[in-house]
């Protein structure tokens, strides 16, 4: 049975009425979680420490974010808002992922879903980007390795957008396999198939750019022929999912046409792979998803699949 981590502080990250990444979308996710019988929900997460955040982010960037005024809104980039509740929300989003890493590594066959905001996979070492302040999943993966919990982590990113921040964090790192399926060409413009890693990390980045109009069948083929074989070859000790649900056919930002049910199917495939290589340990971290109905439905299929339900 997966454990869900979230914190009321996530609702206090105010992005403004015009912004697609709002507290309302997280409320629909939490309601979807609460509707699943027997699901354990932990509604209090610690702030991540500066040391944890600086596993990925430059100290100068962390200090900049920490020192921003908390009584007004600041635009960190054209899409990323920092307001009165943003630092606490961002620090606890990272804290939730770190708590999930600790949880799944205490026993086999444990899964966790981190219902967090702001999202993270665009955040670079030294700047915010694309709604993201700290790179939640990258910090979690770095913490898992630095703490000695595992030696290798596989990150599968099925968000509509390429996770350029996560790729950048591990592009030369042989201990992290980063796999991304994303609409291409599209924001942020990275994620071509030619981007495969450098140095010791060569071959540890797998980008699967998907054309507008692609749907379940194209993603299924990519999973069966590219994603699952790459995971098998890498042999991770922990699997993490950048679980954006904005590649849904009903999402206002998407030209990809995934169905809600297919998020469950992708989860089943990854869970079966995790049972072979990671003792069943999976952590998924919420990224995008901007149609409330489609988001709630897709999360429900994802969590039902994680707990072994059809």
Any bridge partners for residue 40, and if so which? 3
Any bridge partners for residue 241, and if so which? 156, 284
Contact between 98 and 143 (Cβ < 8 Å): yes
Q: Quickly count: other Cβ atoms within 10 Å of residue 220's Cβ.
A: 14
Three-state secondary structure call for residue 9: helix
Catalytic annotation on 57? no
To 5 degrees, how large is the angle CA 258–CA 159–CA 252?
Answer: 60
Q: Is the pTM of this model over 0.85?
A: yes
What is the distance between the alpha carbons of residues 50 and 98, in angstroms, rounded to a whole number? 13
The catalytic residue among 122, 161, 182, 248 is 122
Select from 68, 55, 72 the least CA-distant residue to 143. Answer: 55
CATH label of the domain that carries residue 145: 3.40.800.20
CA separation, residue 261 to residues 170, 274, 306 (Å): 31, 20, 13
Residues in Cβ contact with 200 at an 8 Å cutoff, skipping those fewer than 6 apart: 172, 173, 174
Three-state secondary structure call for residue 215: strand
pLDDT at residue number 309: 57
Number of domains in the chain: 1
Q: For residue 280, what are the domain limits?
A: 3-306
In order along its 310 residues, the chain shows pLDDT tens digits of 899 999 999 999 999 999 999 999 999 999 999 999 989 999 999 999 999 999 999 999 999 999 999 999 999 999 999 999 999 999 999 999 999 999 999 988 899 999 999 999 999 999 999 999 999 999 999 999 999 999 999 999 999 999 999 999 999 999 999 999 999 999 999 999 999 999 999 999 999 999 999 999 999 999 999 999 999 999 999 999 999 999 999 999 999 999 999 999 999 999 999 999 999 999 999 999 999 999 999 999 999 999 885 4
What is the distance between the alpha carbons of residues 249 and 247, in angstroms, rounded to a whole number? 6
Contact between 230 and 180 (Cβ < 8 Å): no
Three-state secondary structure call for residue 155: strand
| E-assigned strand segments in the chain | 3-5, 40-42, 74-77, 80-82, 111-114, 153-157, 176-183, 205-210, 238-243, 282-286
Contact between 47 and 89 (Cβ < 8 Å): no
**Polymer length in residues for the chain:** 310
């Amino acid at each position: 049975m997966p454990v869900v981590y979230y914190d009321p502080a996530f609702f206090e990250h105010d992005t403004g009425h015009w912004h697609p990444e709002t507290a309302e979308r997280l409320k629909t996710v939490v309601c979807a979680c609460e509707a699943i019988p027997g699901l354990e929900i932990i509604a209090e997460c610690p702030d991540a420490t500066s040391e944890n955040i600086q596993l990925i982010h430059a100290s100068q960037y962390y200090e900049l974010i920490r020192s921003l005024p908390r009584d007004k809104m600041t635009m960190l980039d054209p899409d990323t808002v920092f307001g009165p509740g943003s630092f606490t929300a961002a620090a606890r989003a990272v804290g939730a992922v770190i708590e999930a890493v600790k949880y799944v590594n205490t026993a086999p066959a444990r899964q966790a879903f981190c219902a967090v905001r702001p999202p993270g996979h665009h955040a670079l070492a030294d700047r915010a980007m694309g709604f993201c302040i700290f790179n939640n999943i990258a910090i979690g993966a770095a913490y898992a390795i630095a703490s000695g919990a595992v030696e290798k982590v596989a990150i599968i990113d099925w968000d509509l957008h390429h996770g350029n921040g996560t790729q950048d964090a591990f592009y030369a790192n042989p201990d992290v396999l980063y796999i991304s399926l994303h609409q291409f060409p599209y924001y942020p413009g990275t994620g071509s198939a030619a981007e495969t890693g450098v140095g010791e990390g060569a071959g540890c980045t797998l980008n699967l750019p998907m054309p507008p109009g692609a749907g379940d069948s194209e993603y299924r083929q990519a999973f069966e022929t590219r994603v699952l074989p790459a995971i098998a070859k890498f042999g991770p000790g922990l699997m993490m999912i950048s679980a954006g649900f904005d590649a849904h056919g009903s999402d206002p930002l998407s030209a990809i046409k995934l169905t809600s049910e297919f998020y469950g199917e992708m989860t089943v495939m990854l869970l079966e792979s995790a049972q072979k290589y990671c003792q069943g340990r999976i952590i998924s971290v919420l990224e995008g998803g901007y149609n409330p109905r489609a988001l709630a439905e897709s999360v429900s299929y994802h969590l039902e699949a994680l707990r072994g339900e059809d």
